Amino acid sequence: MERDNLMHGARTALNQNQEMRDWCENFLKSREREAKRNLTNEEFEKHWRYHRPEIMHDGAAEAVQAFKSGKVKE
């Protein structure tokens, strides 16, 4: 339940702050690219296009935490 609340809050924040959403999408895309090194750039872009919604949904809480900790360090 706690994870669901964190994810819901993170998704709400992403929907209200375009800068945060862009940063988090790039963060998650970079992480996914590292996990899919065997794909060519073209294959990866196709993969990202179809799997982005679920990756953004599943990784929202982690990405928002990374955004906030990254912004504090800057």
Measured CA to CA, the distance from residue 25 to residue 64 in angstroms comes to: 10
For the chain, give percent helix, strand, coil, nearest 5. 90, 0, 10
For the segment 6-46, what is each residue's pLDDT rounded down to a tens digit?
777 788 888 898 999 999 999 999 999 999 999 999 999 99
User: How far is 52 from 12, CA to CA, in rounded Å?
Assistant: 17
> Rounded to 5 degrees, what are φ and ψ at 7?
-65, -40
Dist CA 52 CA 50 (whole Å): 6
Write out the two tokens for 68.
């906030």
Domain ranges of the chain: 2-73
Can you give the pTM of this predicted structure? 0.83
Would you state the pLDDT for residue 28?
Answer: 95
